[in-house]
Amino acid sequence: MSDNSLLARLDGIEARFEEVSTLITDPAVIQDMKRYVRLTKEYKDLEKLTAVTRRYRTLLGNIEEAREVLGSESDAELRQMAKDELDEATDALPALEEEIKLLLVPADPEDSK
């Protein structure tokens, strides 16, 4: 899965998380206990994925920022710090992408029984 399609999918999930978080505070939804329980479970599942998504976006931002510093900075110490940050973030990226992909796998409906 390319970064662009992964980010696009994560955008949709974050939007759904915001929607669900609003819905579970709606008095009409709270009165419909079946719907409320279903939405709170969905909220809990989306909350995990949203937290990892935010870490992923931060990591991508760190990589971009480090590359900008490497491209524009002449101070050797700052360049070394940026290179270290870039190496660290680049190394962490595949594990975080794998975690996201695992969280995107639909849960087995039988697991909740």
Domain ranges for the chain, please list them.
Answer: 3-100
Mean pLDDT score of the chain = 89
SS3 74: coil
Residue 71 is encoded by which pair of tokens? 């491209």
Query: How does pLDDT run across 5-53, given as a tens digit for each residue?
Result: 888 889 999 999 999 999 999 999 999 999 999 999 999 999 999 999 9
Nearest to 79 by CA among 71, 89, 88: 71
Cβ contact 88:79 at 8 Å: no
Q: How far apart are the first and last CA of the chain?
A: 32
Fold of 3-100: Methane Monooxygenase Hydroxylase; Chain G, domain 1 (1.20.58)
Phi and psi (nearest 5°) for 111? -65, -30
> Can you give the pLDDT at residue 1?
45
